[in-house]
Amino acid sequence: MKVLAKMLAGLSFVIVLAACSQEPDEASAPTASATPAESAEQFIARVNTDYKDWWREVNAAEWLRATYINVDSAIVEALAHERYAAWHSAAVKEALKYEGQDVSADTRRALDLLKMSAQLVAPDDGAKRKEQAQILTDLGGMYGAGAYCRSENDCLSLPELEDIMANSLDYDELLEAWQGWHTISPPMRKKYQRFVELANEGANEFGYADMGEMWRSHYDMSADEFTAETARLWQQVEPLYEELHCHVRARLGEVYGEERIPQDGLIPAHVLGNMWAQQWSFIYELLEPYPGVSDLDVDSTLKTKNYSPQEMVRSAENFYVSLGMRHLPDTFWERSMFSKPVDRDVVCHASAWNLDGDTDLRIKMCIKQTFDELRTIYHELGHNYYQWAYNKQPMLFRDGAHGGFHEAIGDTVVLSMTPEYLAEVGLVASAEQSDEAIINRQMQQALDRIAFLPFGKLIDEWRWGVFSGAIAPEDYNKAWWELRARYQGIAPPVERTEADFDPGAKYHVPGNVSYTRYFLAHVLMFQFHRALCEEAGHEGALHACSVYGSKEAGEKFSEMLEAGASKPWQDTLERLTGAREMDATAIIDYFAPLMAYLKEQNEGRSCGW
């Protein structure tokens, strides 16, 4: 999901600055300067008050920019962000003055969160803040308005190119779409290099070696401990991914020929149904273990019954309400963007927003009648319900326990979209659960969830290297593809050079949105699901559990959501699961039937790369 405003609403927001037509009136901005006798507690109370004002102003500007991409919205966003950047920098400097003081646990946590609250900190220099503003607004605009133009009057937007990637089996057509989208990012390269320099300068002023270290310090452990933690979690799931990769490669070799899909090497990135080869569910028809067995054709139902975007969202809302949560406020339905406007450029990337830090919840999507879009809606509403649940916390605690928690909430609910649930709500005709049907469903899920795991890990690993200098600017693209080969077993479909900037073709890089949260979410969602199923009294296989309608599970879930960021994530995790450590074994438990199937299919094959 896109998280520009959502992340502001959750502390870890992106400071997306833009150039203004005039200097901001800094004298009119709220000030963070402490009074001489102000205690740490008084300082935090004042920051919480000021922060709510900034939250509303900056989110409104970001919403405008995301739903009206033009010169004027860039100026409006610029003014809000540049003013906010000055306030935030001053507030953090004041917070540093309380280092070492004996304060309450809540005050200490608030001070620490304020210090680590940004994905990006602006250098304490007005000219450099403006330069950073221009760069990041340019990068965001270049991505949002990006298109592949065959000629002046024949241009394809990203959604149109994604449709080709998802539906075509023509090798050359897929290659054209892949190459076409990747033409948008080379102009970003020099801007991104300068952005890294400015971002690191800002991080240095806050006491971090670089931006990567700052990002990794957001997890209630040291940066090095967090690096080790992500490596441990990947090792737990890597064997399942390798089995999936081996089987997918073999099937693609049958479709496109082994001369194009070598059976002892890497898979070309353009034949996996997704622009970034991050999720492979759109090639499920090539991999369906038992053709026609319990086909969960939700797409047909959505089209046959002509579900509107709002009706698809109501379906998701009803699930959360079944757990004992509230109906979304009327303003959600009045102010959200459910469809792509015909008269202007917008950022279609799905996102969930809380514009006032209280009840002004919204989503922004260009919804289509597909099961994939429906699952995305269930995911996005997880953000909204989390935002709503913790809105009684002080402002600095209105966030997830860590970034992965926020992404995991809706995905946990998606795991309860079992055949039984889909049949109960009229989205499929049958809830057949033969052994063959179970394998089919697990293959569908694995092509989304398991295929994603290495991609979710490598994007920030690339950026950690870029920020630290371990990856030099002249090696940006080389290092990108080395990591994709190492973790995903994926290769570019055509030769790439340093004239390219393929990382920039993924929104979260020019948008400066940390990606590790998505990797962690894919671990936590299964851990949460296992805990909720136990609370609901489910007996049997984990993959067969739906907590739909369980008030007991909903109550336990809500208790965790209401805590927000008020406690270390280990405490919040323990509140739901009884464990203080993230654990990917729930993934192995969930996909046990598929793992057995894959091992059988891969017998005699040369797996690995």
Active site members:
349-350, 379-380, 383, 407, 508, 518
> Backbone phi, then psi, for 123, in 5-degree steps?
-60, 150
For residues 562 and 269, give the distance between their C-alpha atoms in angstroms, rounded to a whole number: 41
Q: Outline where 295-348 has alpha helix (H).
A: 298-304, 309-322, 330-335
**In Å, how far are 56, 85, 140 from 129, measured between CA atoms?**
21, 8, 16
34, 94 Cβ separation under 8 angstroms? yes
350 touches 1 (CB < 8 A): yes
**β-strand pairing of 351-354 with 361-364:** antiparallel
Residue 339 vs residues 310, 320, 328, 368: alpha-carbon distances, Å: 9, 22, 19, 8
Please state, in angstroms and rounded to a whole number, the distance separating the CA atoms of residues 14 and 547. 34
Closest by CA position to 269, among listed 497, 461, 494: 494
Spell out a b/e string for 404-415, using b for 16 or more CB atoms within 10 Å of the CB, else e. bbbbbbbbbbbb
Centroid of chain to Cα 542: 25
Q: What angle, 0 to 180 degrees and rounded to 10, lies between the N-to-C axes of helices 592-601 and 223-256? A: 50
- Burial of residue 342, with CB atoms counted within 10 A of its CB: 0-12 exposed, 13-18 middle, 19 or more buried: exposed
Question: Side chain identity at 124, as an amino acid letter?
Answer: D
Matching residue, tokens 């091992």: 599
Bridging pattern class, strands 267-268 and 490-491: parallel
Of the candidates 236, 246, 238, the one whose C-alpha atom is nearest the C-alpha of residue 598 is 246
Q: Say which residues have a Cβ less than 8 Å from residue 542's Cβ, sequence separation at least 6.
A: 526, 529, 530, 533, 586, 589, 590
Query: 10 Å Cβ neighbour count for 276?
Result: 20
Return left, alpha or beta for 164; rule: phi > 0 is left, psi -120 to 50 is alpha, else beta: alpha
CA dist 425 and 225 (Å) reads 44
Q: Please give the Cα distance from 292 to 277 (Å, whole number).
A: 25
3 state DSSP class of 491? strand
